[in-house]
């Protein structure tokens, strides 16, 4: 399927319940998940937010329903006849001060080894009864940028720039970060990788590339996130 890209300026978020599973689907989901963990023991069944529905609430205003699940929920995609909620993730367009965009490659130990994408990741549910709102989502995007790229950007400096809907109808919230010099980006990325290795963990990203035009993405060997080309193309038309 193709990728949809929407201009969105405001989000309204509302928690919903994940639909119940039949005993058969639950058992099949767990079998698929267990097989995936055997193949990749680094997979972690932590809490995550899924998209339980979206509807327009006005011009450039999106009402987004979210539900608490864990990563094993998405094993339902490989269970015939079962339906998994779409995933919800944040990512960041991080430009250089000369107009290029950072793309990043996932490490071999991740769930999407070798895939080129924007810095970002799944949304985690709020802790201690906190609200999942626009401010919290901006914080999630800033956290991903700091963890993966070593870039300390204040959440309020990130601007919700687009919403994408792609494979498995997954919803991506794309934020635009302030431009930085290439040297700062590469130094931050190297520092973030060193910090992960010092903790005995493989970095989630193992390489970055800077692209000025969407046509340059063809030179990045390996799979690409479905949203990557449309987002880069839109950015080159003017943020």
Distance from the first to the final alpha carbon of the chain: 26
- Rounded Cα distance between 176 and 161, Å, is 6
| Lowest mean pLDDT across 20-29, 38-47, 121-130, 201-210 | 121-130
Residue 40 has pLDDT above 70, yes or no: yes
- Rounded Cα distance between 57 and 239, Å, is 24
Specify the pLDDT at position 221: 96
pLDDT digits (tens, 9 = 90+) for 80-118: 999 999 999 999 999 999 999 999 999 998 888 999 999
**pLDDT tier at 239, thresholds 50, 70, 90:** low
Distances (CA, A) of 127 to 25, 71, 131, 136: 28, 17, 8, 11
Specify the pLDDT at position 214: 95
Residue 9 has pLDDT above 90, yes or no: no
Average confidence (pLDDT) over 147-173: 94
Specify the pLDDT at position 46: 94
Residue 21 has pLDDT above 60, yes or no: yes
Specify the pLDDT at position 210: 98
Number of folded domains that form the chain: 1
- Rounded Cα distance between 89 and 152, Å, is 19
- Rounded Cα distance between 139 and 126, Å, is 11
Residue 1 has pLDDT above 70, yes or no: no
Close Cβ partners of 139 (under 8 Å, ≥ 6 residues apart): 155
Please report, for the domain that includes residue 137, its CATH number. 3.90.79.10
Specify the pLDDT at position 128: 77
Domain that holds residue 18: 4-236
What's the whole-model pTM score? Answer: 0.93
Average confidence (pLDDT) over 166-193: 95
Residue 205 has pLDDT above 60, yes or no: yes
């Amino acid at each position: 399927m193709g990728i949809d890209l929407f201009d969105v300026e405001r989000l309204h978020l509302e928690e919903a319940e994940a639909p119940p599973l039949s005993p058969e689907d639950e058992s099949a989901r767990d079998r698929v998940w267990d097989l995936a963990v055997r193949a990749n023991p680094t997979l972690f069944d932590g809490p995550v937010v899924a998209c339980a529905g979206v509807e327009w609430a006005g011009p450039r205003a999106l009402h987004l329903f979210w539900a608490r699940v864990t990563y094993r929920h998405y094993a339902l995609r490989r269970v015939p006849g079962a339906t998994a909620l779409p995933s919800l993730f944040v990512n960041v367009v991080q430009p250089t001060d000369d107009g290029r965009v950072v793309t990043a490659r996932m490490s071999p130990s991740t769930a999407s080894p070798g895939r080129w994408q924007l810095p970002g990741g799944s949304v985690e549910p709020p802790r201690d009864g906190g609200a999942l709102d626009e401010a919290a989502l901006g914080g999630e995007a800033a956290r991903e940028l700091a963890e993966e790229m070593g870039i300390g950007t204040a959440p309020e400096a990130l601007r919700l720039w687009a919403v994408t809907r792609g494979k498995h109808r997954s919803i991506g919230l794309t934020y635009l970060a302030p431009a930085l010099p290439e040297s700062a980006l590469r130094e931050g990325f190297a520092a973030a990788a060193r910090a992960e290795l010092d903790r005995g963990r493989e970095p989630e990203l193992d390489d970055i590339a800077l692209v000025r035009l969407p046509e340059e993405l063809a030179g990045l060997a390996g799979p690409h996130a479905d949203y990557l080309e449309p987002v880069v193309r839109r950015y080159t038309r003017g943020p």
